[in-house]
Amino acid sequence: MTILKYILKRLALGILVFILSSIIAFTMIRLLIPDFEFEEGVAGGGLEMTIERQRRQALGYDRPIPVQLWRYVRGIVTEGDLGVSWNINAMMPVTEVIGRRLPPTILLSVYSTIVSVPLGILLGIWAALKKNKITDHIISTGVMIFISVPSFVVAFFLQYYLGFRLGFFPVVVSSVFEAGGTWFSWTMIHSMILPVFALAFGGIAGNARITRAELTEALTSEYMLLARTKGLTRSSAVMRHALRNALVPVLPGTVAAFLFIFGGSIIIETIFAVGGMGPLLLQAINTLDYDVFIAVSMFYLSIGLVAGIISDMMFGVIDPRIRMGER
């Protein structure tokens, strides 16, 4: 099976999963919408109830769920309409709500990936080259600690000691207004250091563990012995043979690492008061803002599906000998 056929197959399966998951999410959320049909026993159906009932009818919430689903899909396809936020930003289109909250989440995830991937790979290489020595033991112990400890625990630790007690960094992320109207000012970058490292430590540990395991296996392989017998120095053999083969399963994981960081930022953003997608999702749940919740859920689902396809494609880019999808 060629790479093109494999990609087309993955795209088709991804679209199918996206459609089915979106239908399930839409149905479950719409079932949570309260029924404001004529409730005789509730204060005689007061003004508030009447207004809510009229709004519900205007939005089509009184229609059967298949009809609501059809109207929702038709609005997305024909007009790009994801609905309206009623509780978070009254009468604001969901696309605009998400557009305002997306930049800080993307920036935080990109910074964390930039920190976690190179540091993790370098520590893994260092540990493999110093196998069973004190350096290896220190790195391996740190890896086990940061893999075991949840990111929000690390976040609280950094926030309390480095932010509150020592005052090295702000305990919350600065707003765009406080940062001078830009996401890339020193004020903004300085305030994002703690949440970036709170998210990055898990990725650093994961990349270091995988890199160490793969490089350790490569260093003891037969082709490395053959390379040394041909006269290559140890450093040349490591760079030209062992490291290249060891990074084949590591580098495609960078996309998955970004996805992990992107999804894991929900709690971290809340802890450090980042006005991103994570707090938006929690706020949509707490305020029962149904259209916002559905749109954010679909957004995270699409990111996951695309990241899976890109991660698989990267295997073939890094090592052309791999034929994806073949038996």
> How much is the pLDDT for 134?
92
pTM of the model: 0.77
The answer to whether 21 and 285 have CB atoms below 8 angstroms apart is no
Cα 238 from Cα 227, distance rounded (Å): 9
> How much is the pLDDT for 194?
92
Structural domain boundaries in the chain: 95-318
Cα 70 from Cα 263, distance rounded (Å): 29
Residue 41: in which H helix or E strand, if any?
A: none
Cα 270 from Cα 227, distance rounded (Å): 52
The answer to whether 309 and 11 have CB atoms below 8 angstroms apart is yes
Residue 185 has what DSSP assignment? S
Q: Which tokens sit at 88?
A: 């978070």
> How much is the pLDDT for 289?
84
The answer to whether 166 and 160 have CB atoms below 8 angstroms apart is no
Give the rounded distance of the alpha carbon of 320 from its chain centre: 28
Burial class (CB in 10 A: 0-12, 13-18, 19+), 62: middle
The answer to whether 241 and 223 have CB atoms below 8 angstroms apart is yes
Pick the CATH number of 95-318 from 3.40.50.300, 3.30.365.10, 3.20.20.150, 1.10.3720.10: 1.10.3720.10
Q: pLDDT per position in the chain (327 positions), as tens? A: 566 777 778 788 888 888 888 888 888 877 776 655 444 444 445 666 677 677 677 666 777 888 888 888 888 888 878 888 888 887 888 888 998 888 888 888 888 888 988 898 889 888 888 888 998 899 999 988 888 888 888 889 999 999 888 889 888 888 777 777 777 788 888 888 999 999 888 888 888 888 888 888 877 777 777 666 776 666 776 766 677 777 777 766 676 677 767 766 788 888 898 888 888 888 888 888 888 888 888 888 887 777 777 776 666 555 555 554 454
> How much is the pLDDT for 151?
83
Helices 290-318, 277-286: axis angle to 10 degrees equals 150
Q: Hey, what's the torsion of the CAs at 277, 283, 287, 289, to 10 degrees?
A: 0
